[in-house]
Amino acid sequence: MTQDFQRIPEVAAVVIGKVGDEPTFPFPEVLDVIRLCSANGIAVLGVELFRVKQDGHYAAGSSAYDTQHGKRWRSLQDSQWQDYVQYNNTLAEEFARKNPLGEDHVYVLTTASWVEFRELQKTKAL
């Protein structure tokens, strides 16, 4: 399934590979991708780091800012979406800035548009 953020031409232009079906981004371009997500109403729910070797990608870390949410966003409404996007994406950008890895590493973003987020919530309710 193509995620909504992958349909943004400027995002697609900086994809440098894939981990499974997930597009990967280098640093500092990942910061631009996060900003593009913000401008397009897409929340960055998490950031994963991978070390790239000849034989594949190896997990090198991940953000944990989703644990900072607490009960703040328990029942998110449409009118709160932009605040949620800004909150998450600010934390995503902060995480990426604090982890400026070299060209032997890539970043994978877990993202959701409002429509995708609502679908995820429906799935969780089952």
Domain containing residue 18: CATH number: 3.30.190.30
Q: pLDDT tens-digit profile of 3-17?
A: 899 999 999 999 999
Whether 41 shows a pLDDT value over 80: the answer reads yes
Average pLDDT of the chain is: 91
pLDDT score, position 77? 86
The total of other beta-carbon atoms located within 10 Å of residue 38's CB is 19
Q: Which two tokens stand for residue 110?
A: 């877990």
In contact, 107 and 24? CB cutoff 8 Å: yes
pLDDT given for residue 75 in this prediction: 76
User: What's the pLDDT score for residue 83?
Assistant: 94
Task: Tokens for 56, please give them.
Answer: 């594949």
Give the range of the structural domain holding residue 92, as residue numbers without chain letter. 4-125
Residue 32 confidence class, pLDDT cut points 50, 70, 90: very high
Q: How far is CA 80 from the centre of its chain?
A: 19
pTM of the model: 0.91
Please count the structural domains in the chain. 1
Question: What pLDDT shows up at residue 47?
Answer: 97
Which of 115, 102, 118 has the alpha carbon at shortest distance from 40?
A: 115
Least confident of 2-11, 26-35, 38-47: 2-11
CA–CA gap between residue 42 and residue 33 (Å, rounded): 10
